[in-house]
């Protein structure tokens, strides 16, 4: 039985209002095209995967059943890439099947890689979006493909939970999943501070040797699903400003130079871990930034990382002066900053006695 006319009008009005913009919308053959969805499916060859039509998950305010009841049909097409010819998909019903708003692959093969366009339409309405699927093989000698890993960070001595991601389609209601965990693709006798709960591995107190690749393995019928997460360990987030190593804050350093010669003032500092923020270190002369001086003779070097461990860094920056003039003599200050504060120390550039 078809939906009443008022409901159809309401649905059509709803369908034409997108909830999100993924990329610039285009239109071809009277069909509104949302290009390629942000979600990309990546699986290992031989694994099952369910590709869901993204139109029902953020582009329109209607699910598959409501669209069906309004007389809209869902069709699938495949192409090898953007702009390539799209061919209708012939489902065999076994290895590859259309099930409500999704395509199921049981299992995938390398040739399944490509773009899958789902189209909802009737005689007067059409909308489509493409979904990317990449099927890859394991790296040689490994149980994962390094281009298909997930990534997590943990702080030293803190607790960290590593989930087995994107396995919802392979879980059964009211049944705990049986998940095996490996590190660097090998079975491991886990220490007592590492525990397992449902779909996650929990490290209660992270150590430096916890760095590495964690693979979870779940059986789904005759198939195996694997997900690999690379864990990076950092020092705890610092709550202190950077520390100057040279020059020192507590002592004025004097550096002599010859007029007409060159001078190199070097500043070194230690930065505790501050997330993904780059070290901020620079020179000033009085109230002037180096950029405000004669840039043909005076300039700063790039910041150099001298040491790095668990996100903590020792860095340096040099101030170079060519053909030193009388006006160049004086006090130069090196500043270091992070979100916890700013510190500075000075070098007095002094004319060498003849």
Residue-wise over 88-105: b if at least 16 C-beta within 10 A, else e?
eeeeeeeebebeebbbbb
What's the whole-number mean pLDDT along residues 298-326? 96
Between 123 and 326, the more confident residue is 326
- Residue 68 pLDDT level (bands cut at 50, 70, 90): confident
- Name the pairing type of β-strands 223-234 and 150-155: parallel
The C-alpha atoms of residue 230 and residue 313 are separated, in whole angstroms, by 22
Ordered DSSP codes for 78-93: EESSTTSPPEE----S
Whole-structure pTM value: 0.82
User: What is the distance, to the nearest Å, from the Cα of residue 52 to the centroid of all Cα atoms in its chain?
Assistant: 22
The C-alpha atoms of residue 218 and residue 168 are separated, in whole angstroms, by 11
Outline which parts of the chain fall under CATH 2.60.40.10.
Answer: 5-136, 146-234, 243-351
The C-alpha atoms of residue 82 and residue 227 are separated, in whole angstroms, by 27
- Residue 5 pLDDT level (bands cut at 50, 70, 90): very low
Domain covering 5-136 in this structure, CATH number: 2.60.40.10
Percent of the chain surpassing pLDDT 90: 73
What's the whole-number mean pLDDT along residues 25-46? 83
Domain 146-234 class in CATH:
mainly beta
Between 84 and 205, the more confident residue is 205
Between 1 and 296, the more confident residue is 296
191-227: pLDDT as tens digits: 999 999 989 999 999 999 999 999 999 999 899 999 9
Question: What's the pLDDT at 125?
Answer: 86
- Name the pairing type of β-strands 31-44 and 126-136: parallel
What's the whole-number mean pLDDT along residues 274-287? 93
- Residue 76 pLDDT level (bands cut at 50, 70, 90): very high
Question: What's the pLDDT at 83?
Answer: 65
**What DSSP designation does 95 have?**
S
Question: What's the pLDDT at 9?
Answer: 40
274: pLDDT strictly greater than 80: yes
Q: How is domain 243-351 classified at the CATH fold level? A: Immunoglobulin-like (2.60.40)
- From 81-95, 137-151, 213-227, the region with the lowest mean pLDDT: 81-95
| Ordered alpha helix ranges (H), the chain | 5-15, 64-69
Residue whose C-alpha is closest to residue 47's, from 120, 148, 129, 190: 148
- Residue 12 pLDDT level (bands cut at 50, 70, 90): very low
The owner of tokens 């590190």 is 183
């Amino acid at each position: 039985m078809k939906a009443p006319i008022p409901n159809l009008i309401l649905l059509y009005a709803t369908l034409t209002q997108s909830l999100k913009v993924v990329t610039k919308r285009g239109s071809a053959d009277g069909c509104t095209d949302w290009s390629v969805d942000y979600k990309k499916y990546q699986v290992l060859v031989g694994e099952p995967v369910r590709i869901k039509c993204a139109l029902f998950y953020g582009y329109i305010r209607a699910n598959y059943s409501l669209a069906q009841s309004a007389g809209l049909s869902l069709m699938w097409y495949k192409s090898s890439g953007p702009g390539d010819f799209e061919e209708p998909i012939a489902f065999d019903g076994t290895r590859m099947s259309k099930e409500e708003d999704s395509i199921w692959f049981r299992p995938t093969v390398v040739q399944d890689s490509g773009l899958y366009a789902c189209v909802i339409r009737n005689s007067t309405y059409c909308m489509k979006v493409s979904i990317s699927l990449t099927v890859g093989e394991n790296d040689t000698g490994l149980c994962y493909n390094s281009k298909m890993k997930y990534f997590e960070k943990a702080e030293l001595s803190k607790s960290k939970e590593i989930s087995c991601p994107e396995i919802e389609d392979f879980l059964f209601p009211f049944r705990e999943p049986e998940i095996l965990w490996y590190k660097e693709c090998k079975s491991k006798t886990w220490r007592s501070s590492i525990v397992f709960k449902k779909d996650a591995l929990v490290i209660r107190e992270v150590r430096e040797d916890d760095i590495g690749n964690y693979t979870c393995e779940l059986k789904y019928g005759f198939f195996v699903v694997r997900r690999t997460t690379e864990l990076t360990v950092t020092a705890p987030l610092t709550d202190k400003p950077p520390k100057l190593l040279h020059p020192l804050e507590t002592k004025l350093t004097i550096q002599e130079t010859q007029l007409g010669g060159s001078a190199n003032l070097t500043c070194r500092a230690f930065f505790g871990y501050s997330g993904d923020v780059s070290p901020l270190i620079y020179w000033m002369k009085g109230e002037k930034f180096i950029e405000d001086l004669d840039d043909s003779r005076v300039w700063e070097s790039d910041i150099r990382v001298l040491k790095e461990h668990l996100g903590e860094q020792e860095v340096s920056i040099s101030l170079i002066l060519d053909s030193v003039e009388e006006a160049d003599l004086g006090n130069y200050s090196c500043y270091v900053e992070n979100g916890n504060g700013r510190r500075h120390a000075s070098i007095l550039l002094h004319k060498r006695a003849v």
